Amino acid sequence: MLQDGRILNPRLLAMLAGAGHTDIIVIADSGLPIAPGVEVVDLSLTPGVPSFLQTFDVVRETLAVERMILAKETEDQPLYRELQPRLRAANVELISHEEFKQLAARAKGVIRTGESTPYANIALVAGVTF
């Protein structure tokens, strides 16, 4: 379900609008393997553009999120320090990177960013607005 947002990309907006309760949307760095059959909205332009955090912030404003899932390995990356304040008051689950890749293979969709930082991936479990 959507909340107020500012997304211009029609394919991304359609993916988010189509996400029902408990559907998984992954925001991924440019290197995350994407399973065949999973819808991909590829926003990558150049290395780092758009960044993981830019994409996360805009998607998070738009999609009602019930919980978030990260690879444990993300905690060891400098990016995590910038992400951590954005996760406060959120229901966050940590799993191994291998488990994360398996989860991503079952996602409703993946949003590929231009991010080139290792483990810059998050799974958003869609919630409801009521």
pLDDT tens digits for range 34-73: 999 999 999 999 999 999 999 999 999 999 999 999 999 9
First-to-final CA distance of the chain:
10
Interval 116-121 mean pLDDT: 96
**β-strand partners of 110:** 26, 40
pLDDT class for 6, splitting at 50, 70, 90? Answer: confident
Mean model confidence pLDDT for the chain: 95
Just list the catalytic residues: 21
Name the one residue in this structure whose structure tokens are 């211009």: 8
Other beta carbons within 10 angstroms of residue 119's beta carbon come to 22
Token readout for 15 is 């993916």
Q: What is the pLDDT of residue 89?
A: 81
Q: What is the pLDDT of residue 90?
A: 85
